[in-house]
Amino acid sequence: MEELQLCRTELTRQRGILANLVQHQLRPALKAEGIPILDHKDLSKSQKDELNHYFKDSVQPILSPLAVDIGHPFPFISSLALNLAISVHRPDLNQPLFIRLKVPTNRPRWVPVSEGGFVTLEQIMEAHLKQLFPRSSRIECHLFRVIRGAKDDPWDRYPGEQEEEPSYEPGSLIDMVSYELTARRFAGVIRLQVSQGMPQELKLWICRQLEADPEDIHVIKGLLSLTDLARFQVEGRSDLQDPPHVPVIHPRLRNLELEDPDSLFAEIRKADLLLHHPYHDYETSILRFLESAVRDPKVLALKLTIYRTSSRSPIIQTLKEAAMAGKQVVVLVEITARFDEAPNIAWGEELEKAGVHVVYGVKRLKTHVKLGLVIREEEDGLRRYVHLSTGNYHTGTAKLYQDLGILTCNAELGEGVSAVFNELSSALPAEEYGPLLVAPHNLRQRFTQLIRIEAENAKNGKPSGIRAKMNQLQDPQIIHELYQASQAGVPILLNVRGLCCLKPRIPNLSPTIRVYSTLGRFLEHGRIFRFENAGDPLFFIGSADWMRRNLDKRMETITPVFDAGVKQELEEILNIYEADNCTAWDLYEDGHYERREPDVDEDKRCAQETFIRLAAEL
């Protein structure tokens, strides 16, 4: 309980920081540009008349006020939905009537007004409540929303849920996930957010109706549901946005014969190819890799993992075409990918109808690997072409996420990838996976060994060092090994975008560890691991972070890099991140971050802008 209370305190602190940023930086900045977020009460008469017509024509017809009284129980409140808590006073009632009015999600939250600016939909609704309840003598209104639990692992249980594991027939993981989707909708409330000014009595009453803990009531100053700011769009103001980013075709893929499916495979046979998204175009690389496999009569089989993919995914269409062309197509669709369960179930069913062999994962292990395998018949026998990636097969996020991928026909890697796919389809672990590091089998042990080797090298006076880039760092055992290596003198530099449970820069614990985070217009998603190895550096990329869930509870792959050219490219990528003095944030021993800033006489170096420039110059 003490840890939970600490989490609540920290959550409140962070939410306060966010509210202050919106109120004192974002809103003034928008106002200065002539596009303020306005309060309805401050509008001119003509603007109010304009919104009155909008309310009558476009909002009021779809509203459903739900009263709570002896004949109307407290309604179900969906997670994350915005709601108005309304107290209606009428002369014929002894006490106010509580009415819940949901803010519709099929209407824009940010409603433009003439003369510039926006008003929130909830304020428009509040300003017109008298039209909904004309016989009221007084109306009080406050905003609230709830956040319900959403467990990461469908094998876990919600508090109070049955302990026994439901009985399912073989192959019915879909049934289990469907059950989970229903359970999630009705999961317990873990947070009740209310607008500032809501009376204490009303807060506690709503809390009781929701069977929530009063400790989980959070009073929000300013706007609720700030994630909706992502949909705040102003037409005609491109000057307020990042310049459009157009990915470039990888230099080695620019002069290929488009009508010759062998041209791409021939290029891969020359040397491994490193793709760095979103700087390298996804459609002319990965999508073309898959499309070439469909069109090439020499390709016999195609295997792929789907964790998340885009709506109307061209990758799904390509896989269907491959099956209809008579190729053996096996696709792992991970239907326990949180918040993508329903679309993934639909994708799996669609692929099955096209003749694709679809498997849905390994029991109690979420499949997070990002692998593609093409098996091609050539003059000297069958050859495996593989795509080893840090990112999903998702054409949408490929434009927004920083990720890495390697196209290779290395025989050892191909055999290892085949072993992984055989485990995914047979549900039986392989004896070995070639050079691949595979969770939950050998990934933890191999990383531990690599860290310990660096510690021994440092003790023996040999070159040592660990440089890594990842999303999260949480695993206690890995952190312990890093501390031990630091105490042995190993220089350790970690680029951790998000959660980091390691404490750097502490004498006698982590004196040689430095941690920073890169935050730019693209989400940093790629994982790179570099070990100095006594002067002969080892490089790895893959899908796993240094987190317990990735090392023990998921199917993950980390691949060693063998190609000298790819190693050099990864070295340069790490160097560019480490030299960033604009979008990098350094973590200090007390847990706070400080943004790097260039010195007065120093040029600005932004990693992502550097990658954009370098890709365009090649």
Average pLDDT for residues 239-248, to the nearest whole number? Answer: 90
Any domain includes 16: no
pLDDT in tens, 396-422: 999 999 999 999 999 999 999 999 999
Q: State the total domains in the chain.
A: 3
Q: State yes or no: pLDDT of 171 exceeds 80.
A: no
Task: Clarify whether residues 370 and 297 are in a common domain.
Answer: yes
Q: State yes or no: pLDDT of 482 exceeds 50.
A: yes
Q: Where on the phi/psi map is residue 36: left (φ > 0), alpha (ψ -120 to 50), or beta?
A: beta
Q: Is 617 exposed, middle or buried (0-12, 13-18, 19+ CB in 10 A)?
A: exposed
- Which of 368, 363, 9 lies closest to 216, judged by CA? 9
- Which of 491, 507, 455 lies closest to 578, judged by CA? 491
Any domain includes 160: no
Higher-pLDDT residue of 234 and 430 is: 430
Residues ≥6 apart with Cβ < 8 Å to 331: 303, 304, 305, 306, 319, 348, 351, 356, 357, 358, 359
pLDDT of residue 344: 82
Q: Which one-letter DSSP state was computed for residue 88?
A: E
Any domain includes 569: yes
- Residue 9, both tokens: 């305190």
Higher-pLDDT residue of 448 and 344 is: 448
Task: Clarify whether residues 607 and 460 are in a common domain.
Answer: yes
Any domain includes 11: no
pLDDT of residue 101: 96
pLDDT of residue 574: 99
Q: Which one-letter DSSP state was computed for residue 26?
A: I
Any domain includes 212: yes
Average pLDDT for residues 565-590, to the nearest whole number? Answer: 98
pLDDT of residue 339: 67
Q: If you average pLDDT over every residue of the chain, what do you get?
A: 92
- Which of 309, 449, 436 lies closest to 373, judged by CA? 436
pLDDT of residue 169: 53
Cross-strand partners of 191: 147
Task: Clarify whether residues 106 and 138 are in a common domain.
Answer: yes
Rounded to whole angstroms, how far apart are CA atoms 291 and 280?
17
Q: State yes or no: pLDDT of 441 exceeds 70.
A: yes
155 — pLDDT class (breaks 50, 70, 90): low
pLDDT of residue 194: 96
Task: Clarify whether residues 205 and 310 are in a common domain.
Answer: no
Task: Clarify whether residues 593 and 566 are in a common domain.
Answer: yes
Task: Clarify whether residues 283 and 430 are in a common domain.
Answer: yes
The one-letter amino acid at 371: L
Task: Clarify whether residues 573 and 447 are in a common domain.
Answer: yes
Any domain includes 163: no
- Is the Cβ–Cβ distance between 444 and 477 less than 8 Å? yes
Task: Clarify whether residues 414 and 309 are in a common domain.
Answer: yes
Positions annotated as catalytic residues are 368
pLDDT of residue 152: 58
Task: Clarify whether residues 416 and 453 are in a common domain.
Answer: no
Percentage of residues in the chain having pLDDT higher than 90: 77
Any domain includes 531: yes
Q: State yes or no: pLDDT of 158 exceeds 90.
A: no
433 — pLDDT class (breaks 50, 70, 90): very high
pLDDT in tens, 307-333: 888 778 899 999 999 999 999 999 999
CATH number at residue 404: 3.30.870.10
Q: State yes or no: pLDDT of 107 exceeds 50.
A: yes
pLDDT of residue 168: 46
Task: Clarify whether residues 425 and 443 are in a common domain.
Answer: no
pLDDT of residue 343: 81
- 144-158, 177-191, 355-369: least confident range: 144-158
Q: State yes or no: pLDDT of 361 exceeds 80.
A: no
- Which of 246, 291, 234 lies closest to 265, judged by CA? 291
Task: Clarify whether residues 382 and 270 are in a common domain.
Answer: yes
Q: Which helix (H) or strand (E) holds 438?
A: strand 437-439
Q: State yes or no: pLDDT of 167 exceeds 60.
A: no
Higher-pLDDT residue of 508 and 366 is: 508
- 135-144, 148-157, 171-180, 547-556: least confident range: 148-157
- Residue 582, both tokens: 């604009």
Q: State yes or no: pLDDT of 26 exceeds 80.
A: yes
Report the DSSP pairing between strands 110-112 and 83-89. unpaired
Which SS3 state, helix, strand or coil, does residue 475 take? coil
Average pLDDT for residues 600-618, to the nearest whole number? Answer: 94
Any domain includes 115: yes
CB atoms within 10 A of CB 396: 15
DSSP 205-248: HHHHHTT--GGGEEEE-S-S-GGGGGG---TT-GGGSPPPP--B
Cross-strand partners of 217: 192
Average pLDDT for residues 60-66, to the nearest whole number? Answer: 96
Domain range for 268: 253-434
CATH number at residue 54: 3.30.1840.10
Task: Clarify whether residues 485 and 608 are in a common domain.
Answer: yes
